[in-house]
Structures are given as C-alpha cells and as structure tokens.
C-alpha cells in the first residue's frame, strides 16, 4: 500500500474517531487528498457541506501549524470550542483577547502545542504579527469565507487582500486553501488571482442541497404568515430575516407578545444585547431569531429548521448564504422567501444609500435584477439558483421547491404576452415596467399622455387588470427570458429574440394561473410552498425530546452550544436505533470514539435504564 493511501486511511480514521462519521461527504475526500498532497486548493461547497472538516483533518496530519483566516469572532470561538471539546489542540487570536492572552497563545503555537490557530484577516496586516508568524512552521493557510476577497462578492472585506502578501512574506510558502459557499464565475476568478493560488486544484460541490425546500411566496400577508408559521413550528429553531431594523423590531415585539421565544439582532442594538441574543439562540434558550443581514455569518448552529426572508435580499449570493443556514445537520428544512413589489423599492433605496459609485453600483443593480427574476420565475428554484452560479446540473427538477410543487394548472398566456410585447415594441423599448403597465391599463398619467402613448393600439388593452397585476406579469416574462431589463436604478424593458417569435405566432406561452393578490398562509402551505416532513416516521418524538434535555444539561455544564455535544440528526438516529451497547452507539453518525468517551454515557444509560428499544417503535 503506497504512502498516499496510508495517509487517506489515517484521515478516514480521524474522521470516525473525532467526528463520528464513517465516510467523507461528497467533495470532502478529494479536497482532503489534495491538501495532503501539498496542493493549493479552492473548495466551493454549500453552507452545511462540511467545509471545516476539509482543512481540520489535514491540519491534524500535516507537520506544523494550520493558520485559519476567519472573518468573525463568533465563528472563531464556535470552531475552537468544537475542536477543543473533541480534544484537538486549537486556539484563536482576536480583539476579544488581552495582549497577554495573545502572547500566551502565540508562545503555545511556537512550542508546537497547537495544530490550528484562527485569526481575523486584519491581523495579517500587522508587522509584529507577521514577524511572530515567520518564526513558526506554518504548514497550511486556510482561508474561510474566501469570497470576501472579491469586490464583486456580497461581503467584500479589504483586509482579505492582505492574505497573499502575508503568505509571500513567510520564509517557507505553506499550502494555501480557500473555501466559500457561494461564488459566481467572476468571484471565483478573483479568489484565484487575489489570493495567488498556485496551480490550484478546484473542487465545486453541488450547491443544491436535497434537504432544503426552497419557496418563493408572492402576495402573502407577510406579518400574518410569519405569526402563523412560527406558532405551528414553535418547538423548532428558526431565523427570520428582514431588510430594515423597523421590521425586525416590529416582528420581534409581535412574536414576543404572542408567546414565541424570540430574540432580535441588528446594528442599532447595543453590542451586549446583540451578543446576549446570539448566545441565547446558539444555546437554544430562544427559538426564533429575527434579524437583519448583520446576523448569521459564522453561525454554526446545525439545527435551524427554517429560514424565512420577510423581504427579498439584495442578491442571490446573500440569499443562498442566509437560506443555507437552515438544515446544516442534513435534516429536512424550509427556506421561505416572502416577496412583494415593495421589496424592490427597499433594496434600490439601500443601494442608493451606499457611497459606492460606477461599476460597483451598476453591479449591485444587475445582481438585484437577477434576484427579482428569481422571485418571479415559475421554473424549478434549484435550477435557477445553480444556473446563477454557473453550476452544471442534471435536468431533473428538485420536486420540493414551491415551483415544482405548484399544483395550479398551466394556462395559455400567449394572447396576453403578445399584447405586452407589442406594447413594448411600439414604445420603442425605451421605458420601464411601470410605464408599460400604465399604457396597457389605459392610464391618464401625465407622462403617458405627453409621450402620446394614449394613441397606441395597445393603449388600454388590459384595462380590466390592475397595474400591479400587469407589472407582475411583465416581471414574470422577464424571469422566463422573454424580456430583459437594462441595468441601473431605472431599468428599461426590452424584447428578447424569443419574444419576437411569440409576436409572430411561432411560439406559445404557457404560464401558471396568476395567484390571488392576498393568498392566505394556509393556502400557501397547501401549494407545498412552506412545509416539509421534518423527520422520518420512525423517529420517536418523545424519546427525541428526552435526548435533547440530556444534551442541554451537558451543554450547560460544558458551557458550549448544544449542537457541539451532538447535533439533532445524531439524536434523531439515536431515537430510531435506541442503542443498548457501546458498539451500537459508536455506529451512530456523529458520535465517534472521542465524543462517546466524553458525552456518550448519559445517552446510553438513558436507553438501558428506561428500557426503550427499537421494538417499542414498531407498535
């Protein structure tokens, strides 16, 4: 057996011993192999895909220290807590530490007592820190959230530009590994260039996660929907994202008044309140977090069962990152986007409030338009997401998104499409959606009359519909590729070649029947847009809840979040298997020898002492 195979065998043993998993997930094994062979590596994996294992396992096998560049204090702490809980020597250095504490950790690294050291990218810009790191044997530099290096990414952070100069300053160049959950082709190019990866191995694992049911719901009473949903899922942890602080505060107050254990998080709150609320959420002291997009990066809570977007996010990257915080343990979870036309105006206002200019602002508007198209599409939402990120995929619909589960019949909309396309053509493709909708409605708007559009044959041809309904239809045709919108704050609607075929009668347009303007939350659920079965039928929920109580007591005594003990998926498997022996416990995914020795005994004793066995579940 060659050395390479022996190394991977050892990696497999570490995975089982420390993490309790018999096999690497899709994409993980190839990345681990690449790093152990000394290759620079770029790994693009979905949130919850197990990126950290890809550099943590090699860190244990490589000779020397692995320096992990991580963007947030909370993320560092969670990762280090999880590692030290498993007995893996790791530490972090950030602004929460005193100078003395920083020195103690650097000395520990110099003595070879650490395998991993987590630092913020800003730390790499400090001369004294570079000098200290030059004294260490750094085997690998792992860059987490590597998309932050690109100005075209949604979380651009200038300090990430310090990574490449830092690596170049070291006396011996380490392996460089970069990881992110989302990257468009242009962001990927930036990561390769700005991090100066040398002949890297590139691995892109499918972003489409089978356990996430994606939904876009239009025309809902948003507040009513959220109140109904949270009350029906009161035992499940969830995150509700809102675009403004005002909406966060309003939802938070209403949820608390209705008895829901909720917290809130936005930049307008005192630092201590934000920190306390985040910790309460991580420790399961509150079930629901209502937040702006300031909350979430680095939140490694594995049992979030749903993420609701109260407003449309600014772009697909942000949406996939935020929605991907659901179901990190692989259990079925909901990702629900409540969309209204007002969301577009809110996001445009936020873009205009930003000081960015030129190409950067135009890029923000372009990404916003792509997000709008996602909200209007009738195609499989997973298809739409994967195509945005340039990822190849099979042509089989996911079957669980709101589009795939939409039971409304297809309707021939060719006539309506021809009227709209003809109107746009006669207006010389020089105006936006609102103006076109006004002409079709027969509006007496001053601008409509000034341009003489009241004399067009298409003027008033859709007067039986509201301008909002006409605008919704136009936006749907944009999402389906019949029309396109120019970039910028005031986009102009234009015909695509396929629309000309429709005008000539060479192509038929089939669409789902329009939704009622104010569909109820219950009807949305009947459409399959918001709920999935959250666990196998074999799971004994009573046993599962008792296991959660045992886990909570252990977590409180260890002063770590519950999921660091065992995640929900592991407890669910326990409740199905009902292990009576140590060997049976060790076969459960997520247990492992190290965690069993530290935490497994109370769970095993529960099954042995209560007499719960798998036969009890068959009655």
Q: Is it the case that residue 537 has pLDDT exceeding 80? A: no
Provide the CATH topology of domain 212-388: Rossmann fold (3.40.50)
SS3 112: coil
Task: Say which range, 13-17, 27-31, 453-457, 525-529, has the weakest mean pLDDT.
Answer: 525-529
Q: Is it the case that residue 248 has pLDDT exceeding 90? A: yes
> Do 427 and 523 meet the contact criterion of CB atoms below 8 Å apart?
no
Task: Say which range, 355-369, 411-425, 563-577, has the weakest mean pLDDT.
Answer: 355-369
The pLDDT > 70 percentage for the chain reads 92
Q: What is the pLDDT of residue 298?
A: 59
Exposed, middle or buried, 346 (CB in 10 Å: 0-12/13-18/19+)?
middle
Residues in the chain: 619
Confidence of residue 218 (pLDDT cuts 50, 70, 90): confident
**Average pLDDT, integer, range 589-609:** 91
Confidence of residue 178 (pLDDT cuts 50, 70, 90): very high
Confidence of residue 613 (pLDDT cuts 50, 70, 90): low
Tokens of 508: 């038929």
In words, the CATH class of domain 3-204 is alpha beta
Q: What's 175's DSSP letter?
A: E
Q: What is the pLDDT of residue 531?
A: 37
Q: What is the pLDDT of residue 297?
A: 65
- Measured distance CA(15)–CA(414) in Å, rounded: 56
Q: Is it the case that residue 612 has pLDDT exceeding 80? A: no
* Cα-based distances in Å from 503 to 166, 201, 377, 454: 59, 48, 21, 21
Q: Residue 152's closest CA among 181, 126, 190? A: 190
Please state the domain extents for the chain.
3-204, 212-388, 410-514, 541-618
Q: What is the pLDDT of residue 539?
A: 61
**Average pLDDT, integer, range 560-568:** 87
Pairing label, strands 138-143, 41-44: unpaired
Q: What is the pLDDT of residue 455?
A: 94
Pairing label, strands 41-44, 201-204: parallel
Tokens of 68: 């992990």
SS3 197: coil
**Average pLDDT, integer, range 154-173:** 91
Instruction: Give the helix/strand (H/E) hosting 423.
Output: helix 414-426
Q: List the beta bridge partners of residue 308.
A: 240, 336
> Do 180 and 44 meet the contact criterion of CB atoms below 8 Å apart?
yes
Q: What is the pLDDT of residue 128?
A: 94
Please state the separation of Cα 435 from the chain's center in Å: 35
Q: What is the pLDDT of residue 439?
A: 96
**Average pLDDT, integer, range 588-601:** 91
Q: What is the pLDDT of residue 121?
A: 93
**Average pLDDT, integer, range 374-397:** 84
Q: Is it the case that residue 275 has pLDDT exceeding 90? A: no
Q: What is the pLDDT of residue 100?
A: 92
Confidence of residue 235 (pLDDT cuts 50, 70, 90): confident
Provide the CATH topology of domain 541-618: DNA polymerase; domain 1 (1.10.150)
Q: Is it the case that residue 322 has pLDDT exceeding 70? A: yes
pLDDT tens digits, residue range 350-372?
888 877 777 778 888 888 989 98
Confidence of residue 225 (pLDDT cuts 50, 70, 90): very high
The pLDDT > 90 percentage for the chain reads 53
Residue with tokens 């200290």: 132
**Average pLDDT, integer, range 166-178:** 95
Q: What is the pLDDT of residue 534?
A: 36
Confidence of residue 126 (pLDDT cuts 50, 70, 90): very high
Q: What is the pLDDT of residue 530?
A: 39
Tokens of 326: 């659901």
Confidence of residue 513 (pLDDT cuts 50, 70, 90): low
Q: What is the pLDDT of residue 538?
A: 55
Q: Which of 66-80, 121-135, 341-355 is predicted most confidently? A: 121-135
Q: What is the pLDDT of residue 2?
A: 47
Confidence of residue 401 (pLDDT cuts 50, 70, 90): very high
Q: List the beta bridge partners of residue 42.
A: 178, 202
Tokens of 24: 């690497």
pLDDT tens digits, residue range 48-107?
778 899 999 999 999 999 999 998 877 788 889 889 988 899 999 988 888 899 999 999
Cα(first)–Cα(last) distance of the chain, in Å? 50
Q: What is the pLDDT of residue 10?
A: 92
Provide the CATH topology of domain 410-514: Arc Repressor Mutant, subunit A (1.10.10)
Domains 212-388 and 410-514 share a fold: no
Kindly write down the DSSP assignment for every residue of 502-561, as one continuous string. Answer: HHTTSS--EEEPPPPTTB-HHHHHHTTSS----S-TT--HHHHHHHHHHHHHHHHHHTS-
Q: What is the pLDDT of residue 4?
A: 59
Q: Is it the case that residue 535 has pLDDT exceeding 50? A: no
Q: Residue 241's closest CA among 307, 324, 339? A: 307
Q: What's 284's DSSP letter?
A: T
H-helix segments, 245-396: 245-257, 271-282, 316-323, 341-353, 358-376, 381-388
Q: What is the pLDDT of residue 187?
A: 87
Q: Is it the case that residue 313 has pLDDT exceeding 90? A: yes
| Radius of gyration for the chain, computed over Cα atoms and rounded to the nearest angstrom | 27
């Amino acid at each position: 057996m060659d050395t390479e195979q022996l190394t991977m065998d050892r990696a497999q043993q570490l995975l089982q011993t420390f993490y309790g998993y018999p096999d690497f997930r899709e994409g993980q094994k190839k990345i681990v192999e690449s790093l152990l062979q000394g290759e620079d590596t770029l790994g693009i994996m979905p949130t919850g895909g197990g990126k950290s294992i890809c550099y943590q396992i090699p860190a244990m096998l490589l000779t020397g220290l692995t320096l992990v560049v991580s963007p947030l204090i909370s993320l560092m702490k969670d990762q280090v807590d999880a590692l030290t809980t498993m007995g893996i020597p790791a530490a972090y250095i950030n602004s929460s530490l005193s100078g003395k504490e920083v020195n103690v950790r650097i000395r520990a690294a110099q003595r070879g007592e650490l395998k991993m050291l987590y630092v913020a990218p800003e730390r790499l810009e400090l001369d004294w820190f570079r000098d200290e790191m030059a004294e260490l044997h750094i085997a690998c530099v792992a860059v987490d959230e590597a998309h932050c290096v690109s100005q075209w990414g949604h979380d651009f952070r200038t300090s990430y530009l310090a990574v490449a100069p830092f690596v170049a300053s070291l006396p011996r160049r380490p392996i460089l590994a970069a990881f992110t959950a989302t990257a468009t082709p242009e962001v990927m190019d930036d990561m390769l260039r700005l991090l100066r990866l040398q002949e890297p191995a590139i691995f892109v694992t499918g972003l489409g996660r089978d356990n996430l049911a994606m939904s876009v719901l239009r025309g809902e009473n948003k507040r009513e929907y959220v109140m109904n949903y949270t009350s029906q899922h009161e035992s499940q942890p969830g995150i509700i994202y809102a675009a403004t602080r005002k909406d966060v505060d309003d939802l938070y107050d209403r949820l608390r008044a209705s008895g829901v254990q909720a917290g809130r998080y936005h930049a307008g709150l005192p630092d201590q309140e934000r920190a306390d609320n985040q910790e309460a959420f991580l420790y399961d002291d509150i079930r629901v977090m209502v937040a702006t997009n300031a909350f979430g990066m680095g939140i490694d809570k594995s049992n979030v069962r749903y993420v609701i977007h109260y407003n449309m996010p600014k772009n697909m990257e942000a949406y996939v990152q935020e929605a991907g915080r659901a179901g990190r343990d692989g259990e079925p979870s909901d990702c629900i986007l409540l969309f209204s036309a007002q969301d577009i105006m809110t996001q445009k206002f936020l873009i205009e409030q930003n000081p960015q200019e030129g190409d950067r602002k135009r890029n923000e508007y372009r990404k916003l338009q792509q997000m709008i198209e996602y909200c209007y599409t009738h195609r499989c939402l997973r298809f739409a997401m994967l195509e945005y990120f340039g990822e190849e995929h099979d042509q089989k619909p996911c079957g669980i998104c709101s589009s795939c589960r939409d039971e409304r019949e297809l309707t021939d909309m060719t006539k309506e499409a021809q009227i709209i396309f003809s109107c746009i053509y006669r207006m010389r493709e020089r105006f936006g959606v609102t103006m076109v909708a006004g002409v079709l409605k027969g509006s007496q708007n001053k601008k409509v009359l000034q341009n003489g559009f009241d004399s067009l044959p298409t003027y008033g041809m859709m007067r039986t519909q509201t301008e909002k309904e006409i605008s919704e239809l136009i936006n749907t045709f944009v999402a389906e590729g019949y029309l396109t919108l120019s970039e910028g704050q005031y986009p102009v609607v234009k015909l695509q070649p396929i629309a000309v075929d429709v005008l000539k009668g060479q192509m038929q347009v089939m669409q789902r029947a329009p939704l009622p303007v104010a569909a109820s939350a219950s009807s949305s659920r009947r459409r399959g847009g918001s709920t999935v079965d959250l666990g196998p039928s074999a799971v004994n929920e009573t046993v599962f809840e008792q296991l959660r109580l045992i886990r909570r007591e252990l977590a409180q005594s260890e002063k770590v979040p519950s999921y660091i003990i065992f995640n929900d998926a592991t407890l669910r498997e326990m409740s199905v298997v009902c292990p009576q022996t140590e060997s049976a416990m060790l076969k459960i995914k997520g247990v492992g020898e190290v965690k069993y020795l530290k935490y497994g005994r109370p769970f095993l004793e529960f099954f042995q002492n209560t007499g719960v066995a798998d036969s009890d579940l068959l009655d």
